[in-house]
Amino acid sequence: MSYSNIVEKVRAFNRFYMPAMNLLGNHYLGSEYSVTEARVFFEIYQSEGCNAAHIARVMNIDKSYLSKILAGYEKSGYLWKVSSARDRRAWDLFLTEKGKQRAEELIRKSNEEIEAILRELSAEDRLRMEQAFDTIIELLQKGGCYNENRSI
């Protein structure tokens, strides 16, 4: 069985989707952050008290790159850490009030940007899109992709 047709469709979708949603570059939603850096905010915001291993696993990113991001957030006053009661080698991560406000601002801007795109679609097309996303997520999870259905 050849996978070339579906592989090309997935790649074509990525080539379309990434720039259409402004996910390329280092200034996600006009901020000073890349998509990855902004997503780290979201993961800590959504999973307060999580540790770096959790974020690295959920986001499938390099632990040393994540460590650099977290150190920058801590230095900027967005993040504080507490030694984990479950694993003394790990730190539980929390956003400061300033960090929570920054995460909420990024979430709000992202929601507004997506809503602006969706406004151009009919109710029927929005429903088709919602169902298509549900199907894609279901099939990718069935195929073994780890996905907590989270995005920023």
pLDDT given at position 148: 53
pLDDT (tens digit per residue) in 52-95: 999 999 999 999 999 999 999 999 999 999 988 887 788 999 99
- DSSP E strand boundaries for the chain: 79-83, 91-95
Phi, psi of 94 (to 5 degrees): -140, 145
Parse the chain into domains and list their residue ranges.
Answer: 25-142
Residue among 39, 47, 46, 41 nearest 21 (CA) = 39
Q: Alpha helix (H) ranges present in the chain?
A: 4-20, 35-46, 52-59, 63-75, 97-119, 123-142
**CATH fold of 25-142, please?**
Arc Repressor Mutant, subunit A (1.10.10)
Which residues in the chain land under pLDDT 50?
A: 149-152
pLDDT given at position 59: 93
Structure token digits, residue 71: 């150190």
Structure token digits, residue 101: 């406000």
Taking the model in full, what pTM does it have?
0.80
Q: Please report the DSSP string for 18-45 in residue order.
A: HHHTT-SSS-GGGSSS-HHHHHHHHHHH
pLDDT given at position 87: 79
Residue with tokens 């990525």: 14
Report the Cα 7 to chain-centroid distance in Å. Answer: 23
